[in-house]
Amino acid sequence: MVPLPESDLSPLLRTDFTDDAAWTEVREEVDDGWVTVVADPRFQGLPPERLLEAVPVGRVYPVLVVADAVTFAHDDRALLVVDLVDEPGRAFRADPRAVRSIVGNLAIQNAYFGDYADSAGDGVHRLSPKHFQALAELSGNPPYPA
pTM (two decimals)? 0.89
- Assess whether pLDDT exceeds 90 at residue 145: no
Domains and their CATH numbers in the chain: 11-139 (3.40.50.800)
Q: How does pLDDT run across 22-70, given as a tens digit for each residue?
A: 999 999 999 878 899 999 999 999 999 999 999 999 999 999 999 999 9
What distances in angstroms separate CA 6 from CA 35, 58, 128, one per listed residue? 12, 9, 33
What is the predicted pLDDT for the residue at 135? 60
